Amino acid sequence: MLSSPMQCLRSMWIIIRFEFSRVFLSARGWMYLFTFGLIWYFILNYLVLNITTLVAQDVGWPVPELTSYWRVALYLFPALCLVMTANQTCSDRSRGTLRFLVLRADRDSIFFGRFISQMLIQMVLVVATAATALIAAVMHDGSVMWAGLGSAVIIVTNLFIALIPITAMMSLLSLTVNSTRQVMVLAILIWASASAIIQGISHYFPFFEVFDLIIPGRQLSELSGLPQIETLSLAYVPLLQGLVLLVAGRLVMQRTSL
Amino acid sequence: MSTIIRCENLSKRYGSNLALDNVSFELESGSPIALVGPNGAGKTTLFSILCGYLRPSSGSVSLLGHNPGSSELFGQVSALPQDAQLDPSFAIHEQLSFYARLQGYSGKAAKIEASRVLELMQLTETLASLPSSLSHGMRKRVAIAQALIGKPKLVFLDEPTAGLDPANARNIRQQISSLSGSTTFIISSHNLQELERLCDTVLLLEQGQLQQQTQVKVNTKTEWDFLTVLMNGPQAQAVQDTLQSLPCVESVSSKNKDEFVLKYNHEKAPDLDQQLLKMISDKGWSYRQLTRGKTLEDQLFSS
């Protein structure tokens, strides 16, 4: 018999592999990937590469193609995250499938296994799209290869960190309602209403602006204006948000009725 | 035999509704155990607490000495939860292999185990099927198959044969019987005849309270015993009068025009069943069924 932490890690690994196979080894998953690839092709050709001339003068970003990729990806992936990661546990819970799982894996393994797999799946897409932007840049000018690679690594790291609190928020919301659509609607409602309330109160009490930091993704607008080297200076915001949301999600998962 | 489930003063409240009211019992491993009661009696709530799906509002419960849902019970306790369905995105065999891997099987062994339990449920032809392509009955059999993965010591089955055709219901009863040496089954069902055949112990829940914990087995140590005979044809009054005339018969009651329950002194007439058969033969009557003791239905619900 495996000890409990080892058993937890083993179960998590099995769940992550299973979730990966849902996207990368199933016919439906391939259909999603094909659709995403097609959409990304148009975004890359008609948006990313088209605005390269507009962002070419940006200070601190050596490769224009990756600069424009950064501007687009910074909003595209968080938005995509709302759709992609909404169904972490809600369908399984309403269908009763989680009842089969909790007899074999502890709730932590299921909750964190699903969260990590969603993060990794998004990373595969981020890395793949960043690679296409890098290839486009190198095809245009071969000398930017190493500078572009450095930019791509920083961009991918930033996106990974930026997606943590949003994915964690979806993990938490997925435990509270019964369908993917409800999760997405709830996320948008919470996001919009929290922003509006904080903005409204801050108008009269400026110190209240500090609460802006509790909203996942609030640092994105600031990030887009920073030079490449400074982008990680705001990493503490999403990391702290992600930590708080994951702790809250874990508590809900432990107490939720199945 | 060892204690497999211990519940003490278990209560579960949904808002103002008390679904379980101070339920206490202790069950030992061995023969299948029945959980019966009318709709809304709290059977599924009790199952859900035992499986770790719900937390009790008060009281304590332990399975094999551990709290429900604890990691020590993984692979030892499994269940057929009411209305739970498999993931529609994956083939049956793939999902059961996934569950087997979570229970500790390696990749190849998990596939073999998934095939084994599907074969037990006579579902080998559906290995590559998606759950949505199966009938209700087949989906239920797959759900029972997942409960048999590995060698669980305790299996909860909530209405295992409801909605199944007679042949498949029979197969499930056979599987339960053949596995009940190593696995203790707790079965919730409204089919009392089925439970009577399978189970030795019966828990009766009514309005969230445990009304009875009885043994189905015939108790030969008591003075009074019962015979239940289901006749085929003759006039009810004539049969009742004749049965009443048999020696040592205390009373004869009739539930319906063909079924009679004889209460008799077992010590004075230990071979009354043989006398009864001879009498039926002498009279030229025919009977459909003779049961030692009362039916489970009579045990539970007759006053």
- Could you tell me the pLDDT band of residue A75, with boundaries at 50, 70 and 90? very high
User: Residue A157 has which token pair?
Assistant: 């790291």
Higher-pLDDT residue of A111, B190: A111
Q: Which long-range contacts (CB under 8 A, 24 or more apart) does B115-121 make?
A: B117/B145, B117/B146, B117/B148, B117/B149, B118/B92, B118/B93, B118/B142, B118/B145, B120/B145, B120/B148, B120/B175, B121/B145, B121/B148, B121/B171, B121/B172, B121/B175
Q: What are the CA-CA distances from residue A135 to residues A89, A121, A141, A149 (Å)?
A: 37, 21, 10, 10
Using the Cβ of A103 and the Cβ atoms of chain B, whether some distance falls under 8 Å is answered with yes
Cβ-defined contact of B102 to A11 (cutoff 8 Å)? yes
Q: Which of A11, A22, A99 sits opposite B81 (nearest CB)?
A: A99
Which one of A15, A18, A258 has the shortest CB-CB distance to B53? A258
Confidence of residue B296 (pLDDT cuts 50, 70, 90): confident
Contact: A7, B54; criterion CB under 8 Å: no
Mean pLDDT of B212-222: 69
A2 pLDDT more than 60 = no
Q: When comparing pLDDT for B80 and B273, which is higher?
A: B80
pLDDT at A58 (0 to 100): 63
A8 contacts in chain B (CB < 8 Å)? 71
Q: How far apart are CA B95 and CA B4, in angstroms?
A: 29
Pairwise CB contact (< 8 Å): B102 & A104: yes
CA distance A178 to chain B (A): 14
Q: Which residues of A touch B55 (CB under 8 A)?
A: 255, 257
pLDDT of residue A3: 56
The pLDDT, as a whole number, for residue A132 is 95
Question: Nearest CA of chain A to the CA of B155: how many Å?
Answer: 11
Q: Say if the Cβ atoms of A257 and B53 lie within 8 Å.
A: yes
Of all residues in chain B, the percent with pLDDT exceeding 70 is 97
CA distance A80 to B98: 28
Instruction: Give the residue carrying structure tokens 């909750």.
Output: A111
Q: Which residue has the higher pLDDT, A88 or B235?
A: A88
Confidence of residue A113 (pLDDT cuts 50, 70, 90): very high
Of residues B11 and B284, more confidence is placed in B11
**Residue in chain B lying closest to A253 (CA):** B53
What would the mean pLDDT of B288-300 be, rounded to a whole number?
79
Phi first, then psi: give them for residue B12, nearest 5 degrees.
-140, 125
Which segment of A27-41, A135-149, A223-237 scores lowest on mean pLDDT? Answer: A223-237
Question: CA nearest B74 in A: which residue?
Answer: A104
Residue B121, token pair as written in the block: 């449920």
Q: Which residue of A has its CA nearest to B144?
A: A100
Residue B214 DSSP one-character state: E
Q: Which of B84, B88, B99 lies closest to A104 in CB terms?
A: B99
Interface test with A, best of B66, B74, B92, B140 (most A CBs within 10 A): B74
A206/B contact by beta carbon, under 8 A: no
Question: Contacts of residue B88 in chain A, CB cutoff 8 Å?
Answer: 95
CB contact under 8 A, B98 and A18: yes
Collapsed DSSP state (helix, strand, coil) of residue B266? coil
Of the residues B63, B71, B82, B132, the best mutation for testing chain A's interface (the one with the most A CB atoms within 10 Å of its CB) is B71
Please tell me which residue, B294 or B170, carries the higher pLDDT value: B170
Residue B99 to residue A11, Cβ atoms within 8 A? no
Contact B54 A103 (CB under 8 A): no
A131-140, B181-190, B231-240 — which is least confidently predicted?
B231-240
Q: Does the beta-carbon distance from B79 to A99 stay under 8 Å? A: yes
pLDDT top residue among A106 and B181: A106
Q: What is the mean pLDDT of chain A?
A: 91
What pLDDT score does A111 carry? 97
Tokens of B58: 């008060």
Distance between CA atoms of residues B264 and B246, nearest Å? 9
What confidence category does residue B220 fall into, taking pLDDT thresholds of 50, 70 and 90? low
Starting at the earlier edge strand, list the strands of the sheet with B224-231: B249-256, B259-265, B224-231, B287-292
Least confident span in A11-15, A138-142, B115-119: A138-142
Mean pLDDT for A108-115 is: 97
Q: Which residues of B touch A28 (CB under 8 A)?
A: 89
How many Cβ pairs closer than 8 A exist between chain A and B? 72
Residue B253, φ and ψ in degrees, nearest 5: -120, 150
Residue A7: list chain B partners with CB under 8 A: 71, 74
pLDDT tens digits for range A150-203: 999 999 999 999 999 999 999 999 999 999 999 999 999 998 999 899 989 988
| pLDDT on residue A1 | 47
Report, as an integer, the average pLDDT of A114-138: 96
Average pLDDT over residues A109-128: 97
Q: Answer yes or no: is pLDDT of A77 > 70.
A: yes
What integer pLDDT is reported at residue A222 of this predicted model?
85
User: Out of A206-215, A230-239, B19-28, B120-129, which region has the weakest mean confidence (pLDDT)?
Assistant: A206-215
Report the first-to-last Cα separation within chain A, whole angstroms: 26
- What is d(CA A68, CA A50) in angstroms, rounded to the nearest whole number? 9
pLDDT of residue B255: 75
Q: The pTM is what?
A: 0.88
Nearest to B74 among A92, A99, A104 (CB): A104
Q: Which residue of A has its CA nearest to B77?
A: A103
pLDDT at B265: 85
Q: Once rounded to an integer, what is the mean pLDDT over residues B210-231? A: 76
Residue B79 touches chain A, beta carbons under 8 Å: yes
Q: What is the ipTM of this complex?
A: 0.90
- State the pLDDT confidence band at B28, using cuts at 50, 70 and 90: very high
Q: Do A92 and B87 touch (CB under 8 A)?
A: yes
Q: Does A99 touch chain B (CB under 8 A)?
A: yes
Does B69 lie at the interface with A, CB-CB under 8 angstroms?
A: yes
Mean pLDDT of chain B: 89
pLDDT at residue A57 is higher than 80: no
- Supply φ then ψ for residue B70, to 5 degrees: -75, 155
